[in-house]
Structure 1
Amino acid sequence: IRLTVIRPELTPSEQERLLGPMLWELEPDVCCHERKVKPMAAAVAGQHAWITGLRRDQSGARSQTPLVAWDARYELFKLSPLANWSKDDVWSYIRAHDLPYNALHDRGYSSIGCTHCTRLPASAEDERSGRWQGRMKTECGLHLPARPFAPCQG
């Protein structure tokens, strides 16, 4: 597998100078767009598909995640092979195959995003409750609903 590191166009200091201080707090949707959505759009341009680690049990917003969908935003297929997996399935697989993972999980973080928007979960029942605490925001914008893909029967 060839991995590519993607970075936002603006450094944090450039972002602050051009878009204002503490954007993550004052305008979190704009911050996510600049730091995540725009770099992702550039990274997948010209590709046929992208693969996500979304799981249906992560949140209500993700509960209908299809295994394969057409992602109209990026104009490619979005594959979510872990959609039917549970958190326990993921951790069992990680342990069984001795895979690396983010050490913040060992400190109680169940969902890890940007530095400023990741906190310990507010609720053990909601693994994403540590993201954007105190806001109505639950998604960064990368995973807007995609139309399910139904292959032609012929």
Structure 2
Amino acid sequence: MDGGAEPVDGRRDFDFLMGTWSVHHRRLRRRLSADTVWEEFGGTCAALPVLGGAGNVDDNVLHLPGGSYRALSIRAFDAARRQWSIWWLDSREAAIGQPVHGRFEDGVGTFLGDDTWQDRPVRVRFLWSGISEQSARWEQAFSADGGATFETNWVMDFRRAP
């Protein structure tokens, strides 16, 4: 590396998220059941870098219609693979979920992993898009057919908090 410059390998891809956000959530009432009813609610997100910039965490408050809860995203960058791993820690379950892995290409972050939903194996996809200094969008989708088709079940629209 020349003059201490950081490599351009993806480790800075989540720099846009650092700081405080207001979040508008939309999530399907029931997942993988052909439901078309969306619940909408607000929340906040505060993100900060860790591991010298090779990772980050964000603390989320979600104001669901039935009550609020907290959750945490943990992200770590693997420089050898040039990819991110993302874990979700939900305060209602006190357990870390299965990770998704991926990277950003052409301004869109795509992250995939395997998990279960209501005792069914699912392929999980996170998408980050619409990224600017003031806004971003995150989407979660599940696939019950090994990734052939996906159902988007949660959308978070981020707006930079004043």
Q: Determine which structure has more spread, i.e. the larger CA radius of gyration.
A: 1
The TM-score with structure 1 as length reference comes to 0.25
The TM-score with structure 2 as length reference comes to 0.24
Higher strand share: 2
Per chain length, whose mean CA-contact separation is higher, i.e. which structure has more relative contact order (CA < 8 Å, sep 6+)?
A: 1
